[in-house]
Structure 1
Amino acid sequence: MEFRLTEEQRALIAPVRRLAQTAFRERARRWMDGTFPWENLRDLARLGVLGMSVPEEYGGLGLPVFETALILEEIAKVCYPTAMAVLGEAGVQTRVIARYAPESIRARILPAVCAGECILAICMTEPHAGTDVASYRTNAVRRGDRWVVNGTKTLISRAAEAGMFVVFTRIEGRPGREGIGCVLIERGTPGLEVTGTFHTMGGENLHEVQFRDCAVPEENLVIREDGFRRLLSAFNTQRCLNPAISLGLAEGAFDEALRYVRERTVFGHPIADFQGVRWKLADMFKDIEAARGLLYRACATANPFPDPFLAATAKVFCNEMAIRVTSEAVQLHGGFGFTDEYPVSRLYRGARYGSLGGGASETLRDLIGKRLVGPDGPGPDGILGLGCF
């Protein structure tokens, strides 16, 4: 087993790290009021990394999940809203288009994603149904050569900026999970309206999106059969990229805390001289490294999507680790940590999102538990997943 990044991986993330630690760090407070970080995305487009999930034939990098997670981790160390904006270009919505959309749509949309000219929004959550996909009410019906969509989605990231909406919807009113499919709806389609705005504690805005008799071409129905299984397969990628942001937030907060306790003095000594402070740092460090091991291991299983059991395990641990570590970073800053003058307050607020989006921790714990007690649980050697190192 090799636990070091390759030279190619280091060369990939080095310019992203330099950009994040300079320009993104300086601008980070600018996006806390919900302003979309267009400037940062243009910088990333010039580096070429906005197309990290786009196949090479459409101008992208076609990166594996692991390398994609590494890039998100670097961005999240300094700016949560930018990391979430990039997740929209690297996450499940891009992979759905690249894998399932017809060539005419791929050829038009994916190069625009690489250039930072087309933001994608994935529309899943409804006012009465988040994790409960089987209860979706949004519905697409066939009328002539068009698909007509009606329904409401809520808490949608990037909806105010999106050029394309990847909408998971019921098809022809078919009930249950088996009735779920996916349709692409472009901004400007009559009947599509971005309505309510929810400003989040992490800084980004979420929105409500309504579809009233939105008619789209037949080719825009990209998943008709077996949509729920395909959704879950693709979403396992999201369960590695979401915790990559959590890992980055924790690392950024740890770096800030370490810098602060070395420089801040009390009673004539740096705070770092006190055993209680060093113990906090030690606990933060071990949590980060344990999370890194779980996440990188889950990412390494992707072919093309990660192992669902390991992805769920990594997500729960990374999400909750980030809340603990960023909270301790605020504590180590004392009263200053509670102000907006120091980055740790922003990182702490961003960390709270991870366990809510992409599968709540409670849902994923149940998934993990069912696997453990089910027929695919630990084998005769008592170890589950050893072959996935």
Structure 2
Amino acid sequence: MDFSISSDQRAMVGTVRELAQGEFRHSAHKWLDGTFPWENMRKLAEIGVMGMAVPEEYGGLGLSVLDTALVLEEIAKVDYVTAMALMGETGVQVRVISTYAPKEIKDHILPRVVSGECMLAVCMTEPDAGTDVKEYKTNTVIKGDRIVLNGTKTLISRAPEAEMFVVFTRVNGQPGREGIGCVLLGRDTPGFAVTGTFHTMGGENLHEIQFRDCELPLENLVIREDGFKKLLTAFNTQRCLNPSISLGLAEGAFDEAVAYVKQRKVLGKLIGDHQGVRWKLADMLKDIEAGRGLLYRACATANPFPDPFFAAVAKVFNNEMSIRVTSEALQLHGGVGFTDEYLVSRLYRGARYGSIGGGASETLRDLIGRTIVKNDATDGIMSLETY
């Protein structure tokens, strides 16, 4: 396997790193109160990053899932909130529109995503249904050439800032997973309202949204048939981008820890000169490199969406690895690591999100286990052909 990064990818990451380390690092504390990082998003639009997931015919770069993961990883090293905001513009909602929406909708929305004018939000979780999609109560009724949407979604990112919402919904009340479709809705639609705000430990805000008799043209029902299958297929991209943020958080925390133990003395001796501390650093680096390999391999399977098995493996490992590494990095900082003034504190809080969002670790472990048992590999080799 070739895990090398191309010269074009290195150049792209270098440009993003310069922006992240030079500017985002010093402003990241500003977003702890839930303020949306508009200024950072505009700067990312200026260098083309907002168009990574948008096809070239709509003014985007049409880059791979791996390219997107590399950029998110770099930003997450210093700024969790901005990385999460960017994931929303390069993840499932953009890819659902570019893959399934009618051309007229693509022409209207995608060029404005590239320029940073149009923020998107994906609406999946409901008060009584998260991972359990078959329990969705939000419903869309088809009435001739119109559709009417009713329901409630919760824990939604960017709701006050987004212009368009990609809403997964039941269609015509059809029960179970087979009844799931997807509707595209603008925030100016009568009956749409943001009805609640929840501040997270990572700094960003999440929101509750209600749809009350929201009437839309039929073409806004962008997924009607095989909606659940298409939802999961598109969502496998999120299961690579989410862990790319986890990987970046771990790397950023590791870098902070290494710098700190090289200059902080205890009992007249640098912390980094203690064998126990060096062993901690060795384990942290080992975990990071293992996570990187799993993630890049999963990204490489995308055509156009990643393989669900490898995406699940990468996500579970990197989410949990990030919690371990950021926790150890904070521990090595001692008391100062527990303060908001130190970057490692913010990275630690952000790391806790990964294993919850985009498919909980427990759910994905079950997916992995079912796949292993179903395929019954006897040679012990986990190959793409086997899984």
Matched, 1:269 2:269: yes
Matched, 1:16 2:13: no
Q: d(CA) in 2 for partners of 1:338 and 1:283?
A: 22
Q: How big is the shift at 1:267?
A: 1.6
Q: d(CA) in 1 for partners of 2:308 and 2:5?
A: 24
Q: d(CA) in 2 for partners of 1:58 and 1:230?
A: 22
Cross-structure match for 1:381: 379
Q: d(CA) in 1 for partners of 2:165 and 2:384?
A: 39
Please tell me whether the aligned partners of residues 109 and 118 of structure 1 are also in contact (alpha carbons under 8 angstroms). yes
Residues 173-192 of structure 1, C-alpha deviation per residue, up to 9 Å, x if partnerless? 00100000000000110000
Q: Superposition pairs for residues 159-198 of structure 1, below 5 Å?
A: 159-198=159-198
Q: d(CA) in 2 for partners of 1:340 and 1:142?
A: 50
Q: How big is the shift at 1:388?
A: 8.8
State the SS of the aligned residue for 1:277.
helix
Please tell me whether the aligned partners of residues 3 and 296 of structure 2 are also in contact (alpha carbons under 8 angstroms). no
Matched, 1:30 2:30: yes
Please tell me whether the aligned partners of residues 21 and 78 of structure 1 are also in contact (alpha carbons under 8 angstroms). yes
The amino acid that maps onto 1:230 is K
Q: d(CA) in 1 for partners of 2:253 and 2:181?
A: 40
Which is worse superposed, 1-10 or 67-76? 1-10
Which is worse superposed, 267-276 or 250-259? 267-276
Please tell me whether the aligned partners of residues 377 and 384 of structure 1 are also in contact (alpha carbons under 8 angstroms). no
Matched, 1:63 2:60: no
Q: d(CA) in 1 for partners of 2:341 and 2:270?
A: 20
Q: Superposition pairs for residues 150-161 of structure 1, below 5 Å?
A: 150-161=150-161
Q: d(CA) in 2 for partners of 1:79 and 1:292?
A: 19
Q: How big is the shift at 1:372?
A: 1.0
The amino acid that maps onto 2:107 is A
**Number of corresponding residues:** 387
Q: How big is the shift at 1:330?
A: 0.5
Residues 129-151 of structure 1, C-alpha deviation per residue, up to 9 Å, x if partnerless? 00000000000001232110000
Q: How big is the shift at 1:276?
A: 0.7
Please tell me whether the aligned partners of residues 250 and 322 of structure 1 are also in contact (alpha carbons under 8 angstroms). yes
Q: Superposition pairs for residues 334-345 of structure 1, below 5 Å?
A: 334-345=334-345
Q: How big is the shift at 1:14?
A: 0.9
Residues 235-259 of structure 1, C-alpha deviation per residue, up to 9 Å, x if partnerless? 1111000000000000000000000
Please tell me whether the aligned partners of residues 297 and 388 of structure 1 are also in contact (alpha carbons under 8 angstroms). no
Q: d(CA) in 2 for partners of 1:122 and 1:341?
A: 32
The amino acid that maps onto 2:381 is I
Counterparts in 2 of 1:321 and 1:197: CA distance versus 1, 3 Å: same
Please tell me whether the aligned partners of residues 139 and 149 of structure 1 are also in contact (alpha carbons under 8 angstroms). yes
The amino acid that maps onto 1:104 is E
Q: How big is the shift at 1:22?
A: 1.0
Cross-structure match for 1:125: 125
The amino acid that maps onto 2:206 is L
Cross-structure match for 1:48: 48
Q: Superposition pairs for residues 151-300 of structure 1, below 5 Å?
A: 151-300=151-300
Residues 298-323 of structure 1, C-alpha deviation per residue, up to 9 Å, x if partnerless? 00011111111010000000000000
Please tell me whether the aligned partners of residues 165 and 185 of structure 2 are also in contact (alpha carbons under 8 angstroms). yes
Please tell me whether the aligned partners of residues 301 and 388 of structure 1 are also in contact (alpha carbons under 8 angstroms). no
Q: d(CA) in 2 for partners of 1:20 and 1:56?
A: 25
Cross-structure match for 2:115: 115
Q: d(CA) in 1 for partners of 2:199 and 2:3?
A: 40
State the SS of the aligned residue for 1:341.
coil
Q: d(CA) in 2 for partners of 1:160 and 1:282?
A: 43
Q: d(CA) in 2 for partners of 1:329 and 1:111?
A: 41
Q: How big is the shift at 1:27?
A: 0.5
Q: How big is the shift at 1:387?
A: 4.9
Q: d(CA) in 1 for partners of 2:6 and 2:229?
A: 34
Please tell me whether the aligned partners of residues 139 and 151 of structure 2 are also in contact (alpha carbons under 8 angstroms). yes
Q: d(CA) in 1 for partners of 2:77 and 2:199?
A: 21
TM-score by length of 2: 0.99
Point out where structure 2 has 5 or more consecutive residues left out of the alignment.
none
Counterparts in 2 of 1:388 and 1:377: CA distance versus 1, 3 Å: closer
Point out where structure 1 has 5 or more consecutive residues left out of the alignment.
none
TM-score by length of 1: 0.98
Q: d(CA) in 2 for partners of 1:6 and 1:201?
A: 36
Q: d(CA) in 2 for partners of 1:262 and 1:353?
A: 30
Q: d(CA) in 2 for partners of 1:94 and 1:53?
A: 7
Residues 30-72 of structure 1, C-alpha deviation per residue, up to 9 Å, x if partnerless? 0010000000000000000111000001110101111110000
Which is worse superposed, 262-271 or 24-33? 262-271
- Which portions of structure 1, spanning 4 or more consecutive aligned residues, are displaced by more than 6 angstroms? none
Q: How big is the shift at 1:377?
A: 3.3
State the SS of the aligned residue for 1:333.
helix
The amino acid that maps onto 1:47 is I
Residues 220-245 of structure 1, C-alpha deviation per residue, up to 9 Å, x if partnerless? 00000100000000111110000000
Q: d(CA) in 2 for partners of 1:388 and 1:246?
A: 28
Please tell me whether the aligned partners of residues 81 and 203 of structure 1 are also in contact (alpha carbons under 8 angstroms). yes
Q: How big is the shift at 1:208?
A: 0.2
